[in-house]
Amino acid sequence: MKNKFKRTYFAFLGIITGIANGLFGSGGGMLAVPMLEKAELEPKEAHSTAIAITLPLSIASGFIYFRGGSINILQALKFVPLGLLGAYIGAKLLKKLANIVVKRTFAIVMIIAGLRLIIK
């Protein structure tokens, strides 16, 4: 990718990921991963980088939702302890899995999520 195009591409990636994150939660990562892979990052690096991108976006979106009274803190806190454990396990697994397994698993998750949205 040419340098000037790359800057524009990453600016576009930031805007699109931020909008998706604000609308769908951390769903911005679902858009960021394939866009990062298109920018020639390896699958594992794309997934890790997407998490690094969505963390500050999620904090910002969460703050806005919290200020607007849209978050049920008690309900959210029920998911945090095991969610943190799951995040730890997932991060450790990502290091061990082959790139093709990561790509296919991600594709399957996206297909299932898309089908659930269409069906429901």
Q: Read off the pLDDT of residues 47-104 as tens digits, 9 standing for 90 and up.
A: 999 999 889 998 999 899 999 999 999 999 999 999 999 999 999 999 999 999 999 9
**DSSP conformation class of 41:** -
Q: Tell me what the pLDDT averaged over the chain comes to.
A: 90
Q: What are the structural domain ranges in the chain?
A: 3-119
90 CA to centre of own chain: 13
The model carries a pTM of 0.78
